[in-house]
Amino acid sequence: MDCMIAERDGVAVVTPAADLDNQTSREFQDRLDPLVTAGTCQFVLDLQHVSFLDSAGLAALVRLYKHVRIGEGDVRLAGVCPAVQKILDLTRLNRVFAIYPTAEEAAASFRRAD
């Protein structure tokens, strides 16, 4: 999966270039696992290019969240389209992930929390 990863003040901003589904979620996880292993514990997932999320995509988000929370980090979402927001609402994951309009706002929220 094509995924842009940028580091901003200790926060990994990850921007998937396509939907997170059964076909792409494993590769998405494979891109993030080395970051988690290296100790990155603050993630912003910029979902501006994600218009569809299935159960495998949701599982990838939850897996990242669980691994990061073990190290007392956090995962925040940004740029969520209405269709993906509806899925997050239905699964109540909107209560787990803080959701921001932009990746910049999500990344800045880590600085405010410190």
Q: What tens digit of pLDDT does each residue of 85-103 get?
A: 999 999 999 999 999 999 9
Query: Residue 49 has what pLDDT?
Result: 97
Domains of the chain: 3-101 (3.30.750.24)
What is the value of pTM for the model shown? 0.93
Encode pLDDT of 24-76 as tens digits: 999 999 999 999 999 999 999 999 999 999 999 999 999 999 999 887 899 99
Calpha distance 61→108 (Å, rounded): 21
